[in-house]
Each structure stands twice: as C-alpha cells, then as structure tokens.
Amino acid sequence: MEIKENHIIVNKTARFYTLGVLTANTKQVWLVLHGFRQNAQSFIAEFEPLASPDIFFIAPEGLNRFYLDGHAGKVGASWMTKEDRLNEIKDYINYLNDLYEYFELEKFTGTITALGFSQGASTLTRWADSTNYRIDKVIVFAGEVAPEIIPLQAHSGLNRTKNYFVCGTKDEFFTPDFVAKAKEIYKSLRFTEIEFDGKHELRMDILKEISSGKK
C-alpha cells in the first residue's frame, strides 16, 4: 500500500508576550523574535532595560515547543525544523501578519522595529521580505538573513527597511570566515554592520542606541 504525505489547515492558538502598553502616545513598537530553545516570556524580559512609556514590545513565541531536557522541566520553542519546512515558514509568516493586524499596526504612525535573535533572525527576514506591512527597522542580531531570499527581489520588503546586522566577535556559533562572508553579502543588502566584543547574546546598550537613532 502507498504511504502518502498529506496536509490540512487547522486552527492553532499562538502565544505572545508584551512589555509596556500600546497607547496613542506610544512612539515605537518593537516586535522581537526569540532564538531556538528560548521562549517568549524569558526573551521579552531581557528588554526591560529599554522599557519606557514610549515603547511597546511584542514577543511572539515559535509555534513548536519541546522539553529542553528529557521529558519534563523547562520548555523552549522553535520557529521551524527541516521537517515540512515550507509549510512551517508559511505558517509563521501568516502568524506574524495576523499579530500585526491584531494590534492594528497598520494605523500606527510611530516607528516599527522588528528584531530577530539567532534562529529568529531568519524567521524575521523571511517575514520582512514577503509582508506588505510597513516595518521601519530590521535588526538581525546574532543570526542570519534567510539564504533563500538572497539576492533580494525588487518587491522585497527588505528594500524598504533600515537594516542592521549585529554580531559579537566571540559568537560561539559563527566562525570568523562565516562572519566575514556575511558582512560582505549583507553590505550589498544595505545592512549597517555593528560589531561588539561578546558572545551569542543580546546587548541592550546597542539596542538603546538603535532605538534612540544614534546608530
């Protein structure tokens, strides 16, 4: 008998966390995407040093969760794996578009910044590349631009955004050779390179400068 792969679209509840309050006085909205094995709650907590009445943070969580150690204990999330990859990409792009609509960000007149950390960076750039919604700043932090969208097509959303590539000099996941090649490629995509002395980690001092417009 034949074994056949099939697909069906179902409803799924997606979880996200927020930091701050979205009001008529909000000047910046940040959508922040966590990395592999992280979760949205702990990830958004890292942005507390940036918190102010002017900024509203939204941290969506990857749609796939798993125990980090065995069959119990802490739980992390992933945006995608190699299994059924194209459908997982389609699902999270739809999810991020839905979240944008949920907060009616198409009506927001302030600055919209989208940050992807580690695995979240590839997720973010796929979304920014394909979405019709406005994003003002894209920050690839300790991660990669999704390789399949390079070179950018004329209609790519990344042609309309101010782009940043941020990476530590001691990042344990990136070899110096990879970083050198990435810098060269991303420069052609209009990414501003920011390097810091550190490992695979978020740096709030750098994000404060981007937020304030100093970078």
- Which tens digits make up the pLDDT trace of 15-52? 999 999 999 999 999 999 999 999 999 999 999 999 99
What per-residue confidence (pLDDT) applies to 13? 95
| Residue 202 lies inside a defined structural domain of this protein | yes
| Residue 155 lies inside a defined structural domain of this protein | yes
Q: Looking at this protein, which amino acid is placed at residue 100?
A: Y
| Residue 97 lies inside a defined structural domain of this protein | yes
What per-residue confidence (pLDDT) applies to 203? 96
What is the model's pTM? 0.95
CATH label of the domain that carries residue 166:
3.40.50.1820
| Residue 190 lies inside a defined structural domain of this protein | yes
DSSP letter string over 54-108? TEEEEEE--SEEEESSTTSS-EEEES--STTHHHHHHHHHHHHHHHHHHTTGGG-
C-alpha–C-alpha distance, residues 204 and 30, integer Å: 13
| Residue 109 lies inside a defined structural domain of this protein | yes
| Residue 7 lies inside a defined structural domain of this protein | no
- Which tens digits make up the pLDDT trace of 84-119? 999 999 999 999 999 999 999 999 999 999 999 999
| Residue 5 lies inside a defined structural domain of this protein | no
Domain, as residue range, for 40: 16-212
| Residue 9 lies inside a defined structural domain of this protein | no
How many structural domains are present in the chain?
A: 1
